[in-house]
Amino acid sequence: MTQHFLLSKAARTLTLAKVFRMSEDQAYETFREMRWEGGEPVCPHCGGTHVYEYRARRIFKCKACGRQFSVTSGTLFHSRKLQMRDYLAAVAIFCNGVKGTSALQLSRDLDVQYKTAFVLAHKLREVMAVEQQDRRLSGEVEIDGAYFGGYVKPSNIREERLDRRRSLNKAGTRQVVVAARERGGKLLTNVYPKESGGNNFIASRLDKGTVIYTDEAYSWRPLHKQFKGYRINHTERYVDGHITTNRVESFFSRLRRAEMGQHHSIAGPYLDNYADEMAWREDNRRLSNGEQFQRLIEYAASLGRSNQWAGYWQRQAKVENNFV
Ligand SMILES: [Zn+2]
Protein backbone atom coordinates (compact mmCIF):
# COMPACT_ATOMS: atom_id res chain seq x y z
CA MET A 1 0.00 0.00 0.00
CA THR A 2 1.34 3.42 -0.82
CA GLN A 3 1.96 5.58 2.18
CA HIS A 4 -0.24 8.59 2.79
CA PHE A 5 1.68 11.73 1.87
CA LEU A 6 1.18 13.37 5.26
CA LEU A 7 2.85 10.39 6.95
CA SER A 8 5.88 10.36 4.66
CA LYS A 9 9.30 11.72 5.60
CA ALA A 10 9.10 14.55 3.07
CA ALA A 11 6.09 15.99 4.85
CA ARG A 12 8.02 16.20 8.09
CA THR A 13 11.08 18.22 7.04
CA LEU A 14 10.14 20.99 9.41
CA THR A 15 9.17 20.24 12.94
CA LEU A 16 8.12 22.61 15.63
CA ALA A 17 10.81 20.95 17.74
CA LYS A 18 13.44 22.25 15.31
CA VAL A 19 12.19 25.80 15.74
CA PHE A 20 12.15 25.50 19.51
CA ARG A 21 15.69 24.14 19.53
CA MET A 22 16.85 27.37 17.87
CA SER A 23 18.26 30.14 20.00
CA GLU A 24 16.74 33.58 19.47
CA ASP A 25 19.93 34.49 17.54
CA GLN A 26 19.52 31.51 15.24
CA ALA A 27 15.87 32.37 14.66
CA TYR A 28 16.86 35.93 13.83
CA GLU A 29 19.52 34.75 11.36
CA THR A 30 17.05 32.31 9.79
CA PHE A 31 14.50 35.04 9.19
CA ARG A 32 17.18 37.40 7.94
CA GLU A 33 18.35 34.87 5.35
CA MET A 34 14.79 34.15 4.27
CA ARG A 35 14.08 37.82 3.85
CA TRP A 36 17.27 38.95 2.10
CA GLU A 37 19.41 36.92 -0.23
CA GLY A 38 22.48 35.82 1.66
CA GLY A 39 21.17 37.81 4.62
CA GLU A 40 22.50 41.03 3.04
CA PRO A 41 20.18 43.87 4.13
CA VAL A 42 18.33 45.98 1.56
CA CYS A 43 16.83 49.29 2.66
CA PRO A 44 13.00 48.97 2.57
CA HIS A 45 12.70 52.75 2.07
CA CYS A 46 14.92 53.32 -0.97
CA GLY A 47 16.29 49.91 -1.98
CA GLY A 48 19.84 50.91 -1.04
CA THR A 49 22.30 48.10 -0.31
CA HIS A 50 25.00 50.13 1.44
CA VAL A 51 24.03 49.83 5.03
CA TYR A 52 25.48 50.37 8.52
CA GLU A 53 24.66 47.62 10.94
CA TYR A 54 24.23 48.21 14.67
CA ARG A 55 24.63 44.60 15.73
CA ALA A 56 23.77 44.96 19.39
CA ARG A 57 20.41 46.60 18.67
CA ARG A 58 19.81 44.69 15.42
CA ILE A 59 19.16 47.96 13.64
CA PHE A 60 20.37 48.95 10.19
CA LYS A 61 20.91 52.45 8.82
CA CYS A 62 20.88 53.12 5.10
CA LYS A 63 23.89 55.09 3.81
CA ALA A 64 21.87 56.44 0.90
CA CYS A 65 18.75 57.77 2.58
CA GLY A 66 19.91 57.79 6.20
CA ARG A 67 16.82 56.00 7.51
CA GLN A 68 16.81 53.15 10.00
CA PHE A 69 15.17 49.78 9.64
CA SER A 70 15.09 46.32 11.19
CA VAL A 71 14.83 42.82 9.78
CA THR A 72 11.04 43.00 10.04
CA SER A 73 10.53 46.60 8.83
CA GLY A 74 8.15 46.67 5.91
CA THR A 75 7.19 43.02 6.37
CA LEU A 76 4.08 41.44 7.75
CA PHE A 77 5.78 41.34 11.14
CA HIS A 78 6.39 45.10 11.09
CA SER A 79 6.50 46.73 14.55
CA ARG A 80 6.70 43.29 16.06
CA LYS A 81 6.29 42.62 19.74
CA LEU A 82 7.18 38.95 19.97
CA GLN A 83 10.55 37.29 19.68
CA MET A 84 11.67 36.15 16.26
CA ARG A 85 11.52 32.54 17.38
CA ASP A 86 7.86 32.94 18.34
CA TYR A 87 7.05 34.10 14.82
CA LEU A 88 8.80 31.13 13.27
CA ALA A 89 6.98 28.85 15.70
CA ALA A 90 3.65 30.49 14.83
CA VAL A 91 4.22 29.83 11.14
CA ALA A 92 5.24 26.24 11.88
CA ILE A 93 2.15 25.60 14.02
CA PHE A 94 -0.05 27.22 11.39
CA CYS A 95 1.47 25.07 8.60
CA ASN A 96 1.02 21.92 10.64
CA GLY A 97 -2.70 22.55 11.17
CA VAL A 98 -3.94 20.59 8.16
CA LYS A 99 -7.55 21.39 9.07
CA GLY A 100 -6.79 24.95 10.13
CA THR A 101 -5.45 26.41 13.35
CA SER A 102 -7.63 28.42 15.71
CA ALA A 103 -6.46 31.58 17.44
CA LEU A 104 -7.18 29.92 20.79
CA GLN A 105 -4.87 27.00 20.01
CA LEU A 106 -2.17 29.36 18.75
CA SER A 107 -2.42 31.49 21.89
CA ARG A 108 -2.04 28.41 24.09
CA ASP A 109 0.81 26.86 22.09
CA LEU A 110 2.79 30.09 21.98
CA ASP A 111 1.74 31.32 25.41
CA VAL A 112 0.66 34.70 24.04
CA GLN A 113 -2.52 36.70 24.52
CA TYR A 114 -5.57 35.62 22.53
CA LYS A 115 -5.66 39.01 20.81
CA THR A 116 -2.06 38.61 19.63
CA ALA A 117 -2.76 35.13 18.29
CA PHE A 118 -5.97 36.30 16.58
CA VAL A 119 -4.17 39.00 14.62
CA LEU A 120 -1.20 36.76 13.86
CA ALA A 121 -3.44 34.02 12.45
CA HIS A 122 -5.28 36.53 10.29
CA LYS A 123 -2.01 37.97 9.02
CA LEU A 124 -0.97 34.49 7.96
CA ARG A 125 -4.29 34.04 6.16
CA GLU A 126 -3.56 37.30 4.37
CA VAL A 127 -0.23 35.84 3.26
CA MET A 128 -1.98 32.72 2.00
CA ALA A 129 -4.40 34.83 -0.06
CA VAL A 130 -1.51 36.26 -2.10
CA GLU A 131 -1.25 33.18 -4.29
CA GLN A 132 -4.80 33.66 -5.56
CA GLN A 133 -4.33 37.32 -6.42
CA ASP A 134 -3.57 37.12 -10.15
CA ARG A 135 -4.46 33.50 -10.68
CA ARG A 136 -6.14 32.46 -13.92
CA LEU A 137 -7.71 29.08 -14.59
CA SER A 138 -7.98 27.17 -17.84
CA GLY A 139 -8.68 23.71 -19.25
CA GLU A 140 -11.45 22.00 -17.30
CA VAL A 141 -12.79 23.95 -14.32
CA GLU A 142 -15.34 22.84 -11.73
CA ILE A 143 -17.44 25.55 -10.09
CA ASP A 144 -19.67 25.40 -7.04
CA GLY A 145 -20.92 27.42 -4.09
CA ALA A 146 -21.53 26.57 -0.44
CA TYR A 147 -23.43 28.53 2.19
CA PHE A 148 -21.95 29.39 5.56
CA GLY A 149 -23.43 31.12 8.56
CA GLY A 150 -26.99 32.18 9.28
CA TYR A 151 -27.65 29.13 11.41
CA VAL A 152 -31.24 29.03 12.67
CA LYS A 153 -31.58 26.90 15.79
CA PRO A 154 -34.49 24.49 15.41
CA SER A 155 -37.21 24.87 18.01
CA ASN A 156 -37.50 22.11 20.62
CA ILE A 157 -41.22 21.94 19.99
CA ARG A 158 -42.01 20.21 16.74
CA GLU A 159 -45.04 22.31 15.76
CA GLU A 160 -42.98 25.49 16.05
CA ARG A 161 -40.19 24.31 13.80
CA LEU A 162 -39.67 26.29 10.63
CA ASP A 163 -38.74 24.70 7.35
CA ARG A 164 -35.10 25.77 7.35
CA ARG A 165 -34.66 24.89 3.69
CA ARG A 166 -36.83 27.87 2.70
CA SER A 167 -34.80 31.02 2.16
CA LEU A 168 -37.58 32.96 3.93
CA ASN A 169 -36.66 31.16 7.15
CA LYS A 170 -32.91 31.60 6.90
CA ALA A 171 -30.99 34.26 8.79
CA GLY A 172 -29.71 37.22 6.80
CA THR A 173 -26.12 36.65 7.88
CA ARG A 174 -25.77 33.74 5.47
CA GLN A 175 -23.07 34.10 2.82
CA VAL A 176 -21.89 31.86 0.05
CA VAL A 177 -18.32 30.87 -0.73
CA VAL A 178 -17.97 30.48 -4.49
CA ALA A 179 -15.07 28.30 -5.61
CA ALA A 180 -13.63 27.34 -8.99
CA ARG A 181 -11.11 24.53 -9.26
CA GLU A 182 -9.04 23.64 -12.27
CA ARG A 183 -8.76 19.89 -12.78
CA GLY A 184 -5.19 19.04 -11.89
CA GLY A 185 -4.73 22.68 -10.91
CA LYS A 186 -5.54 25.26 -8.31
CA LEU A 187 -8.46 26.99 -6.62
CA LEU A 188 -10.07 30.41 -6.72
CA THR A 189 -12.43 31.47 -3.95
CA ASN A 190 -14.55 34.48 -3.13
CA VAL A 191 -17.52 35.34 -0.91
CA TYR A 192 -20.92 36.74 -1.93
CA PRO A 193 -24.37 37.21 -0.41
CA LYS A 194 -25.80 34.93 -3.12
CA GLU A 195 -24.33 32.17 -5.29
CA SER A 196 -25.05 34.01 -8.54
CA GLY A 197 -22.92 36.94 -7.31
CA GLY A 198 -19.73 35.09 -8.27
CA ASN A 199 -20.36 34.83 -12.03
CA ASN A 200 -18.52 37.97 -13.13
CA PHE A 201 -15.54 37.25 -10.88
CA ILE A 202 -15.16 33.71 -12.19
CA ALA A 203 -15.71 34.70 -15.82
CA SER A 204 -12.97 37.33 -15.52
CA ARG A 205 -10.47 34.71 -14.28
CA LEU A 206 -11.12 31.93 -16.82
CA ASP A 207 -9.04 31.74 -19.98
CA LYS A 208 -10.81 31.61 -23.30
CA GLY A 209 -11.80 28.08 -24.24
CA THR A 210 -12.17 26.89 -20.65
CA VAL A 211 -14.71 24.09 -20.22
CA ILE A 212 -16.83 24.47 -17.09
CA TYR A 213 -18.58 21.93 -14.88
CA THR A 214 -21.36 22.97 -12.50
CA ASP A 215 -24.47 21.55 -10.87
CA GLU A 216 -27.87 22.41 -12.29
CA ALA A 217 -28.39 25.51 -10.14
CA TYR A 218 -29.92 28.46 -11.92
CA SER A 219 -27.09 30.66 -10.56
CA TRP A 220 -24.58 29.44 -13.16
CA ARG A 221 -26.61 30.24 -16.27
CA PRO A 222 -24.64 33.39 -17.18
CA LEU A 223 -21.41 31.36 -17.06
CA HIS A 224 -22.84 28.63 -19.27
CA LYS A 225 -23.73 31.29 -21.82
CA GLN A 226 -20.10 32.43 -21.97
CA PHE A 227 -18.29 29.10 -21.74
CA LYS A 228 -18.75 25.63 -23.09
CA GLY A 229 -19.73 23.42 -20.21
CA TYR A 230 -21.59 20.55 -18.59
CA ARG A 231 -24.07 20.32 -15.76
CA ILE A 232 -24.52 17.44 -13.37
CA ASN A 233 -27.96 16.86 -11.91
CA HIS A 234 -27.25 16.14 -8.25
CA THR A 235 -30.71 14.78 -7.56
CA GLU A 236 -29.81 11.90 -9.88
CA ARG A 237 -26.06 11.28 -9.55
CA TYR A 238 -22.76 12.88 -8.63
CA VAL A 239 -20.61 11.44 -11.39
CA ASP A 240 -21.63 10.91 -14.98
CA GLY A 241 -18.52 9.97 -16.92
CA HIS A 242 -16.35 13.08 -16.88
CA ILE A 243 -19.24 15.24 -15.70
CA THR A 244 -18.78 15.88 -11.99
CA THR A 245 -18.00 18.64 -9.53
CA ASN A 246 -16.49 16.34 -6.90
CA ARG A 247 -13.08 18.05 -6.95
CA VAL A 248 -14.44 21.46 -6.02
CA GLU A 249 -16.73 19.83 -3.48
CA SER A 250 -13.81 18.17 -1.74
CA PHE A 251 -12.53 21.70 -1.08
CA PHE A 252 -15.84 22.57 0.57
CA SER A 253 -15.69 19.51 2.78
CA ARG A 254 -12.25 20.65 3.90
CA LEU A 255 -13.65 24.10 4.68
CA ARG A 256 -16.57 22.53 6.59
CA ARG A 257 -14.21 20.35 8.61
CA ALA A 258 -12.16 23.42 9.50
CA GLU A 259 -15.33 25.16 10.61
CA MET A 260 -16.61 22.29 12.72
CA GLY A 261 -13.34 20.98 14.07
CA GLN A 262 -11.37 24.17 14.66
CA HIS A 263 -13.30 27.38 14.63
CA HIS A 264 -16.94 26.40 15.33
CA SER A 265 -18.03 29.36 13.24
CA ILE A 266 -16.22 30.90 10.32
CA ALA A 267 -19.17 32.93 9.11
CA GLY A 268 -19.29 36.71 9.23
CA PRO A 269 -16.77 39.27 8.06
CA TYR A 270 -13.80 36.87 7.94
CA LEU A 271 -15.35 34.07 5.90
CA ASP A 272 -13.30 35.18 2.90
CA ASN A 273 -10.04 34.88 4.89
CA TYR A 274 -10.89 31.35 6.05
CA ALA A 275 -11.75 30.36 2.47
CA ASP A 276 -8.39 31.75 1.29
CA GLU A 277 -6.62 29.80 4.02
CA MET A 278 -8.26 26.48 3.25
CA ALA A 279 -7.77 26.97 -0.50
CA TRP A 280 -4.07 27.52 0.13
CA ARG A 281 -3.86 24.36 2.22
CA GLU A 282 -5.66 22.39 -0.49
CA ASP A 283 -3.45 23.84 -3.26
CA ASN A 284 -0.21 23.20 -1.37
CA ARG A 285 -1.13 19.91 0.30
CA ARG A 286 1.60 18.07 -1.64
CA LEU A 287 4.38 20.36 -0.48
CA SER A 288 6.35 19.17 2.53
CA ASN A 289 5.66 21.34 5.54
CA GLY A 290 9.23 22.55 5.33
CA GLU A 291 8.42 23.94 1.89
CA GLN A 292 5.11 25.35 3.10
CA PHE A 293 6.92 27.03 5.96
CA GLN A 294 9.56 28.53 3.65
CA ARG A 295 6.87 29.80 1.30
CA LEU A 296 4.83 31.49 4.04
CA ILE A 297 7.88 33.12 5.61
CA GLU A 298 9.06 34.43 2.24
CA TYR A 299 5.65 35.88 1.44
CA ALA A 300 5.43 37.38 4.92
CA ALA A 301 8.81 39.01 4.36
CA SER A 302 7.91 40.38 0.95
CA LEU A 303 4.28 41.35 1.44
CA GLY A 304 4.83 44.57 3.33
CA ARG A 305 3.02 45.50 6.50
CA SER A 306 -0.58 44.39 6.81
CA ASN A 307 -3.08 47.10 6.01
CA GLN A 308 -5.97 45.15 7.36
CA TRP A 309 -4.39 43.78 10.53
CA ALA A 310 -1.59 46.13 11.61
CA GLY A 311 -2.86 47.99 14.67
CA TYR A 312 -6.16 46.07 14.55
CA TRP A 313 -6.82 45.99 18.29
CA GLN A 314 -5.78 49.62 18.73
CA ARG A 315 -8.38 50.63 16.15
CA GLN A 316 -10.97 48.36 17.76
CA ALA A 317 -10.32 50.02 21.13
CA LYS A 318 -10.91 53.42 19.54
CA VAL A 319 -14.21 52.27 18.06
CA GLU A 320 -15.31 50.86 21.41
CA ASN A 321 -14.32 54.05 23.25
CA ASN A 322 -16.42 56.10 20.89
CA PHE A 323 -19.47 54.22 22.07
CA VAL A 324 -18.77 54.62 25.78
ZN1 LIG B 1 17.53 53.84 2.10
Span 86-106, pLDDT tens digits = 988 998 898 888 888 888 999
Alpha carbon 74 to chain centroid, angstroms: 21
Domain range summary for the chain, segments of one domain joined by +: 5-131+302-306, 135-282
Span 214-261, pLDDT tens digits = 998 899 999 999 999 998 887 777 777 788 898 999 999 999 988 887
pLDDT for the residue numbered 237: 75
pLDDT for the residue numbered 4: 57
Please compute, for residue 24, the number of CA atoms within 13 A of its CA located in the half-sphere on the CB side: 5
Q: Give dist(CA 301, CA 180) in Å, integer.
A: 29
Residue 6 phi/psi, 5-degree rounding, is: -65, -15
Kindly report the CATH class assigned to 135-282. Answer: alpha beta
Residue ranges, the chain, pLDDT below 70: 1-15, 79-80, 150-172, 264, 305, 307, 317-324
Q: Indicate yes or no: pTM above 0.85.
A: no
pLDDT for the residue numbered 177: 94
pLDDT for the residue numbered 208: 94
pLDDT for the residue numbered 99: 84
Average pLDDT, whole number, for the chain? Answer: 84
Query: In angstroms, what is the span from residue 42 Cα to ligand 1's centroid?
Result: 8
Q: Give dist(CA 225, CA 208) in Å, integer.
A: 13
Query: In angstroms, what is the span from residue 304 Cα to ligand 1's centroid?
Result: 16
Please give all residues whose CB falls under 5 A of ion ligand 1, grouped by chain where several chains appear. Answer: 43, 45-46, 48, 62, 64-65
Query: In angstroms, what is the span from residue 123 Cα to ligand 1's centroid?
Result: 26
Q: Which of 309, 280, 307 lies closest to 295, judged by CA? A: 280
